[in-house]
Amino acid sequence: MSSNHKHNIGLPKKGTIIMIAILVILINLLFVSVGDYPEDNKIRVAVLLPFSGGMEEFGIEYARGVEIAVEELNGHVLPGGRTYVVDYFDTNGDTLSLLNTFLEIYNAGYPVVIGPMTSTETLAVAKYAEVLGVVLLSPGATSDELTAYGDYVFRTVSSDRYLGIGLGKIIGGNDEFENVMIIHTDDSYGVGLAELFIEELEKYHKEPKAVIEIPLETYTEDFDIDATVKLMQKINPDAVFAITPNSASFVELMRKTDSAGLSPQWFVTDNSASSEVAHSGKFAEGVIAAVPSKKGSDVTYAKRYADKFGAPMKIQDSIYGYDAMMMVAESINSRGYSAEQIRDGLRDIRYVGLSGAIVFDEKGDRYPVYDVMQVRNGEWVVLPWSEVMSFEAGHH
């Protein structure tokens, strides 16, 4: 065979080799992301929420959102053949048990925890998360004190600073609310929120006629609802801002207030914006709650929820669990599975989820997105902002 014979198949030119190499790299990047991952390709995420006690309803809802997100994630071919596995832990309702559970999670090697839910619980473990280097992504904690923990602590809801100021504007700017009363838990969440509310109220030259603290640790023994109601009869408040331990305690307070012939305009936060409150009776009609926005951006989510759990959503808190899991997954896929990589991924994330756009500031706080809701005909209804700002909510 002559060596001068030209073949149609041979070595590609140098430029072609470079183009092929670039194409291979780009294709690989679509399926394999950088970072550290377990050898078995199982990405384990700890979920630490209240699955018992007075906040059980909320904990279960957040967890259901996580479940839907994991099912959706694992329904696709993930980079490197990875799968997400979620392990659930109960906060158990007391600080000592919570700390022991958190240390159990740390010792088991989880780099990230979705939870805890409440501000009190999250504050109890935040300092340990910072020292030990475990990412916390709370779907419900709102305390302004959490802003101090800016390295490993994040949340999918906004700080109480915005909530306290917002309620202060609504009540302070309404001429019908002259006699204002505050009832709040004596923990950092209740105290901090009440202080922010009072600070804003003063801008309208108003001050609360009475401030009652509820001892959270000894609520059932040391909080006298009857005495509180008697004080309310003397003050006859137009508006009451109530931060109670849980929905059941708020229902009891409303019931006894109603029996005493009083009908103030109640204002509460998201820990009382439950179906238990809405369905408790006629005395709950008109209750107003300021809560992190729950306007789901995916119209199919409600159907997916109902199909999976066999019942429609009673409250919409599950969307925050869903968003938290999706953000963790996005951070892991883009950066890696170590706590430092997940932390860095969350810092840079630009995520549009069921609860709207989520961007964290330098302290791990989400920029504010709130809804004002009211109980009408036994159900929570989101009020249009035109109605809120014209102070026409009132009793219905």
Q: SS3 letters for 82-111?
A: CEEEEEEEECCCCHHHHHHHHHHHHHCCCC
Higher pLDDT, 32 or 114: 114
How sure is the predictor about 35, in pLDDT bands with cuts at 50, 70 and 90? low
Instruction: Judge whether residue 94 has pLDDT over 80.
Output: no
How far out from the chain centre does Cα 170 lie? 23
pLDDT in tens, 10-28: 334 545 444 544 444 444 4
**C-beta atoms surrounding 315 within 10 Å:** 18
List residues bridging with 351 in a β-sheet: 358
Average pLDDT over residues 289-314: 82
Q: What pLDDT does 51 receive?
A: 92
pLDDT in tens, 54-75: 788 889 999 999 999 999 999 9
Q: What pLDDT does 54 receive?
A: 77
Q: Which of 32-36, 56-60, 155-159, 232-236 has the lowest mean pLDDT?
A: 32-36
How sure is the predictor about 6, in pLDDT bands with cuts at 50, 70 and 90? very low
Instruction: Judge whether residue 213 has pLDDT over 90.
Output: yes
How sure is the predictor about 140, in pLDDT bands with cuts at 50, 70 and 90? confident
Average pLDDT over residues 312-340: 91
Instruction: Judge whether residue 119 has pLDDT over 90.
Output: no
Q: What pLDDT does 20 receive?
A: 44
> How high does pLDDT run on average in the chain?
85
Which of 345, 329, 340 is closest to 44 using CA atoms? Answer: 329
Give the type of residue at 343: R
Q: What pLDDT does 64 receive?
A: 96
C-alpha span between 183 and 235 (Å, rounded) = 13
List residues bridging with 178 in a β-sheet: none
Q: What pLDDT does 10 receive?
A: 39
C-alpha span between 40 and 32 (Å, rounded) = 15
Q: What percent of the chain has pLDDT over 90?
A: 54
Q: What pLDDT does 295 receive?
A: 59
Question: Please, what is the end-to-end C-alpha distance for the chain in angstroms?
Answer: 98
Q: What pLDDT does 390 receive?
A: 59
How sure is the predictor about 345, in pLDDT bands with cuts at 50, 70 and 90? very high
Structural contact between residues 163 and 367, judged by C-beta atoms closer than 8 angstroms: no
